[in-house]
Structure 1
Amino acid sequence: MTQSQTRTAADRMELEAGQFVKEIGEAGDDEVRDAVEDAIEESLAPADREATADAVLLWFEEGDDDLADTLVDATAELNETGVIWVLTPKVGRPGYVEFADISEAASVAGLASTSGNPIAPDWTATRLVVPKTDRRNSTFD
């Protein structure tokens, strides 16, 4: 993948300079990480860093910990308008996760999901958000 194609991944995730982005998960794609860091002009922060994020990149593969529980934890990392990007292997790749499983876990965690978008040769990103009605009823840091 060329650098310009990878930058498109960051653009597709709507990440831009000045945003604070946390990363959760052991898997991943270094080219996507580099593109995100280039786009936000900062390094990705680990989940244990004490600050709320504009976005969380959650690398998840079949067989990882319970996705719903992980999403609940990731939600606590977000600021009021933050989003979670669940990054999973594409169809046919080892560790592939069905969109229906992501959608179900998102629902359990109180999140709304959109369709998956390919962001790299081996990875798909699914955008999850706290529904607007829940944002009005929640307290964010």
Structure 2
Amino acid sequence: MSATAGGGSTQTDGPDAGPAARLGFTSGMVVQELGWDNDADDELRVAIEDRIDADMVDGDYGNVVDAVVLWWRDEDGDLVDGLVDALTDLVGGGAIWLLTPKVGRPSAVDPADIAEAAPIAGLSQTTTASVSKDWSATRLIAPKTIA
């Protein structure tokens, strides 16, 4: 049984909720993780997997996913290409959470680069949040397709 708002969930959704809850992850979601490396925040990764009650899937998953967690550093290449690649398995209306080192940290991505790359990749930037000591998250969504 999945937890619903106001239901019997032991997970907190209020202002003191952990970063995985604040990012909107819920039990049963399929979340794809791309760009993982040794510098990724393991506490955040565990929090997301605890929140969705499953392991995150990788780029070889081969099916649609509800959300993508994309770890991205300044030296990772062209951000537009990375975002377009992250859209491959994303369900219409799903979100990409772009995780970048915070400004001032090694490999930080300039927020202007994100603002420039998102629309070129067909995405809209909606939210930015601090999710750990070293990482920020930017929520990017693709417009829902109209059939």
Counterpart residue identity of residue 97, structure 2: W
Give 2:20's aligned residue: 10
Counterpart residue identity of residue 26, structure 2: E
In our comparison, the structure showing a higher alpha carbon Rg is 2
Shift of residue 79, structure 1, vs aligned partner? 0.7
Superposed, which structure 2 residues align to 1:1-141 within 5 Å?
A: 8-27=18-37, 28-132=40-144, 135-136=145-146
SS of aligned partner of 2:18? helix
Q: CA RMSD in A?
A: 1.7
Among all aligned residue pairs of Structure 1 and Structure 2, give the percentage whose two residues are the same amino acid: 45
Give the number of the structure whose residues are more often helix, by fraction. Answer: 1
User: Which consecutive residues of structure 2, in runs of 5 or more, have no partner in the other structure?
Assistant: 1-11
Return the structure number with greater relative CO, CA threshold 8 A, min gap 6.
1
Q: Deviations over 1:26-71 (max 9, x none)?
A: 3311000000000000001001211111000000011102110111
Q: Which moved more, 1:112-121 or 1:13-22?
A: 112-121
Q: Deviations over 1:61-115 (max 9, x none)?
A: 1110211011111112101221100000111110111111012111110100124
Q: TM-score, normalization: structure 2?
A: 0.84
Q: TM-score, normalization: structure 1?
A: 0.87
User: Which consecutive residues of structure 1, in runs of 5 or more, have no partner in the other structure?
Assistant: none
Q: Partners of 2:102 and 2:127 in 1: how far apart?
A: 13
